[in-house]
Amino acid sequence: MTKEEELENKKYLYHLELLEDAGFIDFKLDGISEGHLISDCPKITWDGNDFIDMIENDTLWNKTKEAAKEKGFEVAKMPLEMLVTFTKMKAKEMLGIEID
């Protein structure tokens, strides 16, 4: 395995761990063999599906990105929990409902 492939594996695992920490996926790492991750396929949780539904709404997602930019944030660099909270706030503004 090349160093680039090893870095990609580490980056992939890191993102899986972030998604799991945020409650968006259930993930079980069985181990690493010859530099390759061995795991079950990550399962998207209820909260993960809710988040996907929110960002699939182009209007909501664009308003979230615009509002973040106005506040000086770049969406791609925002911590996941902050992005979720921000998106929920925009959904509440647009729809007038609270999203848990």
Mean pLDDT of the chain: 80
Domain count, the chain: 2
Instruction: Tell me the CA distances in angstroms from 35 to 1, 28, 51, 63, one per residue in order.
Output: 7, 17, 31, 41
Does residue 16 share a domain with residue 51?
A: no
The answer, yes or no, to whether residue 90 has pLDDT greater than 80, is no
Shared domain check, 88 and 64: yes
Query: Is 8 within a domain?
Result: yes
**Residue 50 sits in which domain range?**
46-95
Instruction: Kindly state whether residues 50 and 90 are assigned to the same domain.
Output: yes
Q: Are residues 17 and 51 in the same domain?
A: no
The answer to whether the predicted template modeling score (pTM) of the entire model surpasses 0.85 is: no
Q: Is residue 100 part of a domain?
A: no
Q: What is the reported pLDDT for 25? A: 92
